[in-house]
Structure 1
Amino acid sequence: MLLALGAAALLLALNARLPRRGLVLLVPSFFAGWLTIELAPHLLAAELAGLGLAAWAGGLDAWPGWAGLALGVLGAAGTVETIIAARRTTVTLRDSGAPLDLDPEGAPRYPRAHLVVPPLCFIPRRGVKVDRNIVYREEGRLRLKLDVYRPAAEGRLRPGLMQIHGGAWVIGDKREQGLPLLNHMAVQGWVGFNVNYRLSPRATWPEHLIDLKHFIAWYREHATEYGADPDFLCVTGGSAGGHLTALVALTAGVAEFQPGFEDVDTSVRAAVPFYGVYDLVEPGPWPIPMGATGLMQKMVFKQSFRENPEAFAKASPVTYLSEDAPPFFVIHGSKDSLIPVAEARRFVERLRDVSKAPVLYAEMQGSQHAFDVFPSYRTARVIEGVERYLTGLHRKYREGGPPSVPGEVTRSLG
């Protein structure tokens, strides 16, 4: 048993540092690395307890036990290294230009209890009111819903934040993602909208994006009913939600994506995509273009990439880069095994080449895909950084100034 525990601890540490990307091991390696990295303090406590109990129960009576103990110590050391990397998140955010010192005394920290007991993030925080399952689009049998996270106390109109869940365009739900961020933003005086949209294979691209444009049209009409400012809306989301976040931000007014409501203003004030896909046509960091994968051709687009690459180009955020792009804060993990970090780097480089607005980029060292789904030390610091960034933009909006961030700096990716 001691040998097995030690070997498992070392394998988890190695996988977190060097995740597998092969077809067979991709998914199990991701899940193991994801949980290992973001729950590293919990894992370290479990590893030490397990090794100690096995040794106390006689595990050191023969050489396999001593070998297991040695492997376990190495694994625990790797877990400690993972914790140290996460503790540098604040340095990464500060280097990105996020205004972490904006209102430092008046900004509540992310609750420590959620870091100890992560499932607490699914419970609305004190002072937060949640309105669930509000229908924002209804046509025939189609009923699309959202949840609203807002301050319980009444006040003036507050800034709005649209949250788009991920799930490879085929799975996912508003009840599962973005909850740590939306709870924290509501505590800070924001109104968050966690939005569902149609999923493939039932939905065919671009129906996913059209649904989200319908939400913005709904927001313009109904935001005040929930205490939100209809003229100030930001957007965020992760993975497939990061792809859709970037598209929502870059395709305001594109008639093809808002049929029947072409005249509605679908612009947003800022975008914060997490670990998204930004180019479906050029392979770059991928073995083949993302659009050429079976998932995209058979389930999402339902057409051939080779025969109609233009359709996939129209679904790529890089197609719509312009000097009028809103401010972006792009966030990605350096150890992301599902969407390589190079995907974010090339998007940021291209966006910075053309956009007049601030483009911030934070590369989370040692982090896997979907790191922010539940609370961890890294998640807490990133959420605080995103809130400070968006609050800075909202402050400029209220002052009537251009979209900039207090203390914002422009940095290269070198």
Structure 2
Amino acid sequence: MGYTGGYGFSASAGGRGSSRFRNFGIIALLSGNLLSLALGLTYLLVDATGGWWNMYGLLLLLTLLGNLHLTMGRGVHKTWEYGYLALHALGLTAVPILNTLASAAVRDYDSRSIGTMVIMLALFALGAWVAFLRLQDGTEEREERRRDRGYSPYSSRGGRSGGSRLGAVLKLLLTLWFLFNLLLGLYFSAILLGAVDAGLMETVLPEYALFFGLMFLGAAALLVKMYGHKSGFFISVFRGVIRVCGLLILVICALPLASAPKIVSEARDAYQQAFGKDPMTVEGDGFMRTAFSLPDYFYGAPNGDYRVKTDIVYYEGQESTGDAGLKLAFDAYMPPEDSNDLPGKGSVLIRIHGGGWTIGDKGAQNFAQMNKYFASRGYVVFDVQYGLSNAEKFVESAVVPPEVVGNYGIDDMVRHIGLFTVYLEEHAQEYGANPTSVFIAGGSAGGQLAAAAGLAPTTEDYANMLAPGITVKGIIPYYPANGLANEVGVDGGALGDPSVLVNADSPPALIYQGEKDSIVSSETAQAFARAYREAGNEQVALIEMPFGTHGSDMYFSSYYNEPFTYMAERFMNQYQ
């Protein structure tokens, strides 16, 4: 019986020609690993990001897949091959976690994880070593033929152990665990395709989908490896089903990545139609050089230098205003010294966290790398707390600072943001901030509040909501939860639906929305954009993300967040 490799092709069926073809493939994979390792080191050490690096990202991805194909086969050096598969499974589980933690850490000034760098480079180094060993010593089948002829130098390696009861139990447990992983992968795939309502799980799925696909394919490879030496019809069918499931999960989980060119193209068109300028023509130092970088997805995206001050109190509540016991603070992210040449030029970005108006906080819970990134581009970024409602929490287990919780409705929360702008007007010089060039951004509940606060000054009834010296130049709501406060037990007040505030003088709006958001329907963002146009204001661009869900901007270097951030920084530069 010929050796059945990673996807079921017999290595002996084709004779010498097949062996030459297989060796050519292994040489190509060895070269791919070495080149991925060298380019990875270059990418991490040299500030040379650009669109052409996506070719390296594609090579990186193909090399990871090739390594799985090779190592699931019956090589002589099983320990090294199992070691690679274990590193793949555990490493690609750790990479998105480490990247997210580094991104969210307020004082991680690079926003890249050293652990991620080590894991990714180790995958290529170990992959190259396994490919070299396979090229040198071949497969178990070839070793068995050599052993039968009595001159194998690896006889002691190739024998199969009789196995113990403990070993059998361990194998059974591992089999069940990997089968569970595949079932989980099929469940995740169903969520991505919209066949299953995932609840809050949707917030962490589409932006990390490619990692999930590679992890579940790794589980399939380990199962195939564990049962690769067994023959028979049923075991062959089992291996075939496992391979098909693993590949199917990967293909579905790769759909968001495959949508990246569509995202960039449609975002460009929406931007140009709304704001009359091609964002792709805006280049220079301090601007993101490409709308999406596939290597960033794996290694994490760095940000430039910035300074930060945290936990600065701007308001302590008073009995007369109904805010007794309230204590609100902000974090300030500032550009590096001598930042006059950066695009931001001291313009202000106020960022407002989400959380259903009942949970959430500034800092790590508000995607801190966005603050760090824009500060490194010359903007002065304020990550601001506001009073939370004491209604039933959006997520009951969430921990919130008790000093920000009270009997607050939407009108109170917008008022709190207005109080921050009073502080900003008085202290702008301390932070190098320009209060006459302000942008307000936020996600979900924060997107609703950002829209309400940004639109209020252009209306007759709420013209004094913000400090008089503040000029809002634009709003950037992410999946804004307009008109939804009452549905979760929070008093929506007069400002609960910012759409009613839109008029011809409203500041320009750049809106992020996931097409498959089941928490805040895409219809909500579409209605907001329509309100602009119906008011005779064409300066609104709605960018909808294929397969995107609520919170799909969470991973900074994803195929969702990077293209939108690319547009957002050009939007702010255009209107500052």
The interval holding the TM-score normalised by the smaller chain is: 0.7 to 0.9
In 1, distance between residues paired with 2:183 and 2:266?
32
| Secondary structure, aligned partner of 2:366 | coil
Q: Which runs of 5+ in 1 are unaligned?
A: 281-289, 302-310, 395-414
Instruction: Report Cα offsets for 1:257-290 as digits up to 9, x if no partner.
Output: 799x887355511101010122x2xxxxxxxxx3
The residue that corresponds to 1:287 in the other structure is none
Instruction: Report Cα offsets for 1:294-317 as digits up to 9, x if no partner.
Output: x22xxx22xxxxxxxxx6454211
Q: What amino acid does structure 2 have at the position aligned with 1:129?
A: R
Instruction: Report Cα offsets for 1:178-231 as digits up to 9, x if no partner.
Output: 423222212221111111111111242122111111111111111121111121
The residue that corresponds to 2:362 in the other structure is 174
- C-alpha displacement of 1:89: 2.2
- Pick closer, same or farther for the CA change 1:228–1:355 going to 2, 3 Å: farther
Say if 2:208 is the partner of 1:26. Answer: no
Q: What amino acid does structure 1 have at the position aligned with 2:565?
A: I
The residue that corresponds to 1:388 in the other structure is 570
- C-alpha displacement of 1:15: 0.5
Trace 1:2-401 onto structure 2 (pairs within 5 A): 2-18=178-194, 20-21=196-197, 25-27=198-200, 31=201, 33-58=202-227, 61=235, 63-97=237-271, 99-106=278-285, 107-109=287-289, 115-117=297-299, 125-139=303-317, 141-155=325-339, 158-175=346-363, 176-201=365-390, 202-205=406-409, 206-252=411-457, 264-265=468-469, 267-278=471-482, 280=483, 290-293=484-487, 295-296=488-489, 300-301=490-491, 312-356=493-537, 358-375=539-556, 376-394=558-576
Aligned residues: 359
In 2, distance between residues paired with 1:361 and 1:66?
44
Contact 2:210 2:250 in 1 (8 A): no
Q: Determine which structure has greater relative contact order: mean sequence separation of CA pairs < 8 Å that are 6+ residues apart, divided by chain length.
A: 1
In 2, distance between residues paired with 1:50 and 1:257?
57
In 1, distance between residues paired with 2:415 and 2:207?
34
More strand, by proportion: 1
Contact 2:516 2:549 in 1 (8 A): yes
In 1, distance between residues paired with 2:182 and 2:441?
40
Alignment root-mean-square deviation, CA: 2.7
| Secondary structure, aligned partner of 1:88 | helix
In 1, distance between residues paired with 2:333 and 2:461?
31
- Pick closer, same or farther for the CA change 1:184–1:64 going to 2, 3 Å: same
Q: How much identity, in percent, do the aligned residues show?
A: 23
- C-alpha displacement of 1:252: 1.5
- C-alpha displacement of 1:48: 2.1
In 1, distance between residues paired with 2:205 and 2:370?
21
- C-alpha displacement of 1:5: 3.2
The residue that corresponds to 1:399 in the other structure is none
Contact 1:271 1:329 in 2 (8 A): yes
- C-alpha displacement of 1:360: 1.4
Q: What amino acid does structure 2 have at the position aligned with 1:272?
A: I
| Secondary structure, aligned partner of 1:269 | strand
In 1, distance between residues paired with 2:524 and 2:338?
42
Q: Max radius of gyration: which structure?
A: 2
| Secondary structure, aligned partner of 1:383 | helix
- C-alpha displacement of 1:377: 2.8
- Pick closer, same or farther for the CA change 1:155–1:36 going to 2, 3 Å: closer
In 1, distance between residues paired with 2:183 and 2:261?
26
| Secondary structure, aligned partner of 2:185 | helix
| Secondary structure, aligned partner of 2:183 | helix
Contact 2:456 2:463 in 1 (8 A): no
In 1, distance between residues paired with 2:311 and 2:458?
27
- Pick closer, same or farther for the CA change 1:166–1:291 going to 2, 3 Å: closer
Bigger Cα displacement from structure 2, 80-89 vs 368-377: 80-89
In 1, distance between residues paired with 2:471 and 2:573?
18
- Pick closer, same or farther for the CA change 1:188–1:314 going to 2, 3 Å: closer
TM superposition score normalised by structure 1:
0.79
In 2, distance between residues paired with 1:80 and 1:155?
39
The residue that corresponds to 1:400 in the other structure is none
| Secondary structure, aligned partner of 1:377 | coil
Q: What amino acid does structure 1 have at the position aligned with 2:225?
A: W
In 2, distance between residues paired with 1:108 and 1:316?
33
- C-alpha displacement of 1:380: 1.4
Contact 1:325 1:355 in 2 (8 A): no
In 1, distance between residues paired with 2:526 and 2:456?
21
More helix, by proportion: 2
